[in-house]
Structure 1
Amino acid sequence: MTLVPALLLFALYFHLRRKDRRMLRNGVVLVAACYLLLVQLGNLFTQWVPGASYVYLAVLALAPLAILALAAALIHNGVVMHRNEGRRLGNMVSLLLGLLLIGLPVLAVALVLTLNPLGVGLAALLFFLCSYFGVVFVVFLAYAVAYGRMPFREDPRGIVVLGSRLVDGKVPPLLRSRLDKALAIYRSTSPRPLLIPSGGQGADEPFPEGVAMGEYLVSAGAAPEDVVVEDRAVNTEQNLRLSAKAFAAAGRSGPLLAVTNNYHVLRAALLARRLQIDAEVVGSPTARYYLPSAFLREYVAVLVEHKWLHALLFLPFAGLTGVLVMAFIANRG
């Protein structure tokens, strides 16, 4: 019976979320609870529906086709990103992953067919690596979606709008969606919160992002006295930290709300917690074609920020690979 453990994990999830929703471990508990619930539903399905086991066999048989379909979709998205957003490494993430989904299984089979202990060990290591990072991605994506749908708890006293690149010195659609979301919250909140557009000047930008964002907010109806521009930040961590300082320097106090695009919400929330800033994060809409690469970039960024933790968690799999290689050598002997 997996129903009781699933219910206990759901209870733990809501407890942890109430305590602090800006923690990725909440996603681990949520995914584990959903997995156990699905296992229980699968068991009930097998008991109640004659021939259900054949359905599972069919699903397993179709799994390689599903992976190929996913790879094709990612490659297509990479081509669309290249066409619409230009040839930058960040825009090629979905294309690269699609190619890896095709190439890695072929490489693993080729390594196993060598019947060389080192080749078999590398194939096993590839399998464990892909499985581990695949599960981590499911956790990240599931909780990113869950967190992005949570309403903020308190009316904010300040709204930080995280910057992004200007195009020809103008606010592009991606950044405009953040500003429009911030304006909607600003207009519906009483007393009116302080608006803090945050972003420094990139090498290809004629002036800081924060300045252009502030002008947009005022031109859209925000009171000039309610807008304080932060124009030095060059990344999300600096956006949050410098904006919190600007908020305090303006003589304000209370909860902050950071506005970014929906794919960026969870990582921004994790950073706010690490910086000990009293801020929740909400997301604005993003063009659909942009989402796969954007979520993958955020996932990679979170992995890098917690690289030593993931290296530690992967050590047992590396040890298991060594055991398998030794067992293979022993059997051949």
Structure 2
Amino acid sequence: MIAISAGIAVVFLSLFVVSRRRDARRFRNGVFLLMAGGFGLVTATGVLVAVFPPFALLIVLAVALVPVLVLALAVFAIANGVTMLRSEGRSLGNLLSLLAGLALIGVPFLVVTIVVAAGRTTVPVLQDVVFVLALVIVFVSGYAAATFAAFTLWSLVYARPRERELPDAVIVLGSGLVRGEVPPLLRSRLDRALAIYRSAPDGTRRPLLVPSGGQGADEPRPEGEAMAEYLVAHGADPADVRPETASRSTRENLVLSRRVLAEAAREGSTLVVTNDYHVLRAALLARDTGSSADVVASPTAAYYVPSAFLREWVAVMVEHKALNLLLVAPFVVLIAAWVVSLHA
């Protein structure tokens, strides 16, 4: 068992290393890393139990504490959701943390209720249907938890600070304005871009700054315009600032900003700046649009992070809904076939 888990861990670690070298802007990097870490943990646990048998008691204790940890996580998520609603207003995005906390409590209760109901019915077909439903809910919930863990893990790893060469251009992704002015969330992105801009040695060409964002229905002017004003007011040369003011989404931010760079003859190395929770999705979209740009992170207020990561994960899952359905559907069919085979 130890040898098998160790072998699987090595396989996933190898896949991660190869995939990471080819392109760090891939979701599967997080999946490979999570799987390598999970099977590595299983291997390490097996070795410790073999060398020191009483360690098994700690494992039993840890397993027994899982429901308590899940409940604590649910309470934290609900509390964070309430904070988001009070601080950021009512919206579906701001409700995600609250909904996730309720799901952590509600899904196990729902599964237990379904299983109990299946045990009370005397109709075999109905028992099978209800049992399949319970197993599917467990599988889909586990799939959601695993993909969220992989997304969060690789987002944090990818967003970590690292040395980079001075780029030819910096694209700053927009976010909502508050009464036409730059709010703290967007300011952190602009400040990160300014730090990169100022890092250019004296006598060298500074990166072109492209603040990118169109005008939302509730905004008095385009985000790119307000962002450009902020950059110039904080030391950027107006000649080095080329705002993009027509985009309405992250994908459009990237596509339309590349046109601005092409017009300015700055199509060399490019960095994209956004908040840490948004880094991986922005990188996935950059890759999907054919851009070679790397993405760097700016900090986010702590209370905002849980809901923000959930929102980005949901967006990635929706953008790849066909792939997710393709991955989930065979397992659902296998679950149903297995349950039916029990009565064959």
Q: What TM-score range do you get, normalising by the shorter chain?
A: over 0.9
Alignment match, 1:52: 55
Q: Are 2:43 and 1:32 aligned?
A: no
Query: Number of aligned pairs?
Result: 330
1:100 CA drift (Å): 1.1
Query: Could you tell which deviates more after superposition, 12-21 or 182-191?
Result: 12-21
Counterpart among 162, 169, 194 of residue 158 in structure 1? 169
Quote the Cα distance in structure 2 between the aligned partners of 1:4 and 1:303: 30
Q: Are 2:337 and 1:323 aligned?
A: yes
Q: Are 2:71 and 1:68 aligned?
A: yes
Runs (4 or more) in structure 1 with deviation over 6 Å come to none
Map residues 192-203 of structure 1 onto 2, 5 A cutoff.
Answer: 192-203=206-217
| Matched residue type, 1:208 | P
| Matched residue type, 2:174 | G
Q: When the two structures are superposed, what TM-score results if normalisation uses the length of structure 1?
A: 0.95
Map residues 163-174 of structure 1 onto 2, 5 A cutoff.
Answer: 163-174=174-185
CA contact (8 A) 1:74 1:97 kept: yes
CA contact (8 A) 2:213 2:248 kept: yes
- CA deviations over 1:233-260 (Å, ceiling 9, x no partner): 1110000000010011012220110000
Alignment match, 2:296: 282
CA contact (8 A) 2:166 2:196 kept: no
| Matched residue type, 2:206 | R
1:320 CA drift (Å): 2.2
Q: When the two structures are superposed, what TM-score results if normalisation uses the length of structure 2?
A: 0.92
Counterpart among 133, 136, 152 of residue 122 in structure 1? 133
CA contact (8 A) 1:158 1:255 kept: yes
RMSD (CA atoms): 1.5
Give the gaps of 5 or more residues in structure 2: 119-126
Percent identity between the two aligned chains: 50
Alignment match, 2:153: 142
Q: Are 2:144 and 1:133 aligned?
A: yes
Quote the Cα distance in structure 2 between the aligned partners of 1:48 and 1:241: 56
Quote the Cα distance in structure 2 between the aligned partners of 1:219 and 1:183: 11
Quote the Cα distance in structure 2 between the aligned partners of 1:206 and 1:56: 58
State the SS of the aligned residue for 2:171: strand
Query: Could you tell which deviates more after superposition, 89-98 or 146-155?
Result: 146-155
Give the gaps of 5 or more residues in structure 1: none
| Matched residue type, 2:145 | G
- CA deviations over 1:118-150 (Å, ceiling 9, x no partner): 221211110111111111111111111111116
Query: Could you tell which deviates more after superposition, 287-296 or 154-163?
Result: 154-163
Q: Are 2:196 and 1:185 aligned?
A: yes
Map residues 303-322 of structure 1 onto 2, 5 A cutoff.
Answer: 303-322=317-336
Counterpart among 295, 298, 308 of residue 309 in structure 2? 295
- CA deviations over 1:47-103 (Å, ceiling 9, x no partner): 232411111111111111111111111000000000100011110000011111111
